[in-house]
Amino acid sequence: METIGETSFILVYRDRRRKWLVRPVDTPKLHTHLGILDCMALVGRPYGIIVNTTMNDELFILKPTLEDIVMKFARSTQVIYPKDLAMIVMRCGIHSGSRVFEAGTGSGAATATFAYMVGPSGMVYSYDLNEQFQSVARRNLEKFGLINYVTLKNKDAKLGIEENELDAALIDMGDPWEMVPQVRLALSPSAVMAAICPTMNQAERLTEKMKEEGFINVETIEVLVRNLEARLGMTRPSQMMVGHTTYVTFGRKTS
């Protein structure tokens, strides 16, 4: 049974809206409106336990998932939502050992997701012109122990991709169509390219460019997630949902 260490991340959970991601070494005492939690007292204990604050409120001590980690990232840019990241990972076939290219590091949410999937033998190559964005992303990746599976490059990917025979690529920039020829050269045959398109006009222009460059199975999707308020005899769709976040365009390289 895995136990909590001083440097272990723990998700202190009360409900969906009240949760905290901390490490005992950084936050020996967690001060909340529910009372104070002695995080150092959790060291050596297993995940999944129920503890009480100084005000006798119950909190659940959980092991954080990848979603918990990504959504708690320090942000210099808007992150890609887990619902979209999950679809990108699935459709691109990213797995342990994959070599993945990314144009547009941003805050590193997608970078971290790919790094989590490709370790311990794969690598994510992430390009971004903005040094400040990459600095934030680096801190996020180091904090959560994922930096060893990422090569950050403060470069303009439009000028060329240094890697080749890549297994997948994600483009997250305002003019993704400008990256299509470079990505096609860098990908292995049959590999998948994905691109984030905030607007339909961007998706249209990208789709045409991908087809011109010989990509097949080009498709744009929108992922919507709606929760259900599940209560005995009163279940109904939630009035709040994570609706439109982006459009994601996919295509596969042919030889």
Q: Tokens for 4, please give them.
A: 């909590």
Strands of the sheet containing 166-171, edge to edge, are 150-153, 123-127, 99-103, 166-171, 187-197, 247-252, 216-221
The structural domains of the chain, with segments of one domain joined by +, span 10-64, 68-252
CATH number of 68-252: 3.40.50.150
The closest alpha carbon to 32, from 9, 49, 14, 48, belongs to 14
- Is 101:125 a contact under the CB 8 Å cutoff? yes
Q: Tokens for 79, please give them.
A: 């992150």
Residue 19's DSSP bridge partners are 13
Q: How far is CA 202 from CA 142, 176, 198, in A?
A: 33, 8, 7
Distance CA 237, CA 228 (A): 4
Question: What pLDDT is stored for residue 77 in this prediction?
Answer: 76
Q: pLDDT tens track of the chain, all 255 residues?
A: 899 999 999 999 999 889 999 999 999 999 999 999 999 999 999 999 999 999 999 999 999 999 999 888 877 777 799 999 999 999 999 999 999 999 999 999 999 999 999 999 999 999 999 999 999 999 999 999 999 999 999 999 999 999 999 999 999 999 999 999 999 999 999 999 999 999 999 999 999 999 999 999 999 999 999 999 999 999 999 888 888 899 999 999 998
Question: What pLDDT is stored for residue 207 in this prediction?
Answer: 98
Instruction: Tell me 80's DSSP state.
Output: P
φ and ψ of 207, to 5 deg? -60, -45
Tell the residue number behind the tokens 């001083």, with chain if given: 6
Distance CA 201, CA 3 (A): 50
Distance CA 225, CA 231 (A): 19
Question: What pLDDT is stored for residue 84 in this prediction?
Answer: 96
Question: What pLDDT is stored for residue 174 in this prediction?
Answer: 94
Query: 103-130: buried (b, 16+ CB within 10 Å) or exposed (e) per residue?
Result: bbbbbbbbbbbbbbbbbeebbbbbbbbe
Does the predicted TM-score (pTM) go above 0.85?
yes
CATH number of 10-64: 3.10.330.20
Question: What pLDDT is stored for residue 79 in this prediction?
Answer: 78
Contacts of 21 (CB under 8 A, 6+ apart): 9, 10, 11, 12, 64, 68, 69, 72
Give the burial class of 68: count Cβ atoms within 10 A of its Cβ; 0-12 exposed, 13-18 middle, 19 or more buried. Answer: middle
Question: What pLDDT is stored for residue 241 in this prediction?
Answer: 82
